[in-house]
Amino acid sequence: MPFGLHLQNLDTITLAIKNAGFNTVRLPFSNEMLHDNTLASKDWVGPNSELAGLTPLEIMDKVIMSLTEKGIFVLLNNHSTTTQWCCNYDMNGLWYGKNETYSQTTNDWIADWEMLALRYQSNPLVIGADLRNEVRPLRKKNLPLPRNPNWGHRNKKDWHKAATLAGNAIHVVNPNWLIVVEGINARVHFLSQLSFPHLKPVVKKPIRLDVPNKLVYEVHNYSFSWTKANLLFPKRQKKYSQLSTAERMAAYDKNWGFVTDSNFVHCAPVLIGEFGCGKSGTDVEPWLKDLTDYIAEQNLGFCWWTLEEELHSESSYGIMNDTLNQIDVFDDWRGEYLKTLLNDK
């Protein structure tokens, strides 16, 4: 279920999000969670005693209600098939697959999205479907061999095909929803956990939905993200943190920024669905400054990862400093860059 409810009151969390200046929450869920009828015990929900005895999906209903009652938009994000911390080289890489605790087909995955589109159809502040988080190579059970996703090969592993089918199915139920499609996350080699998502396949094969003007592409960017694939010479690979400002800006333009250019024939909005960092690291602040500058210059949508990780340390990407009595967001240097973005919106 949504993280943090075991620590803090739900309305206190959602009010802090609003007071910080955010207008949208990208809310992750797993497919397994949607079908889990286990009832929440009191220790799962901490101060939110009214949530005890509800299923995970019913608790998500309450979270969405609390957010939208405060005027905060909700973008639902299918983060994984089974409930886990994403993302590694695991059996959750694709939108279908067999897992030890829960398995699904492409049709099952689409059916879940249809169910959610119908469930929140009457709430106009639930604005869309982030179809799948960080599509990447899927690990075969008991074998270190990947099943690699592709863009446009018209087979079972074709993410372009699956995203199009899901988007059109959702629009039959709710034509108002935005359909957010992430680029494929590739890897230097199948054991590597570092990804470098981009939108270059959109040049030759864009997503085309039956309902027009509802498509949004999504990318993620971190200081440790690779700028491009170099399968033969992985040591020549560079992370965004290793680039100069000029090189970083050029890489953003080349890898995904070009999609928003009005001169691009398949022009569409691009959401920076995840970016974030901890408080420490000499290479982190220049990267964050450049990325937030780029977001502001291109007028892109964005979501910070993450609100809280329950890790009060230099390495935590969370920006919420919580106690039982109050919640403050932006209590360190990272907040200055986020505040600038939020003030621009």
H-run or E-run covering 275: strand 270-275
pLDDT at 65: 98
> What pTM value is reported for the model?
0.94
- Reading the block at residue 316, the tokens are 């935590």
Say how far apart CA 305 and CA 2 lie, in whole Å.
Answer: 14
Across the range 61-76, mean pLDDT stands at 98
pLDDT band at 323 (very low <50, low <70, confident <90, very high): low
Residue that the structure tokens 């929803």 belong to: 177
Q: Give the residue among 322, 315, 278, 313 at the shortest CA–CA distance from 3.
A: 322
* DSSP bridge partners of 270: 217
- Reading the block at residue 121, the tokens are 């159809």
For residue 8, the one-letter residue type is: Q
Question: Does the structure show a pLDDT above 70 at 345?
Answer: no
For the chain, helix, strand, coil in percent to 5 are 35, 15, 50
Q: Bigger pLDDT: 235 or 274?
A: 274
pLDDT band at 324 (very low <50, low <70, confident <90, very high): low
Percent of the chain scoring above 90 in pLDDT: 69
Across the range 242-249, mean pLDDT stands at 96
Across the range 232-240, mean pLDDT stands at 74
Across the range 111-139, mean pLDDT stands at 96
Helix (H, G, I), strand (E, B) or coil at 334: helix
Across the range 194-211, mean pLDDT stands at 89
* DSSP string computed for 2-38: -TTTTTS-HHHHHHHHHHHT--EEEEEEEHHHHT--P
pLDDT band at 287 (very low <50, low <70, confident <90, very high): very high
Say how far apart CA 291 and CA 240 lie, in whole Å.
Answer: 10
Lowest mean pLDDT: which of 68-77, 185-194, 265-274? Answer: 185-194
Q: Bigger pLDDT: 322 or 49?
A: 49
All domains of the chain in start order, with CATH: 10-344 (3.20.20.80)
Say how far apart CA 264 and CA 298 lie, in whole Å.
Answer: 14
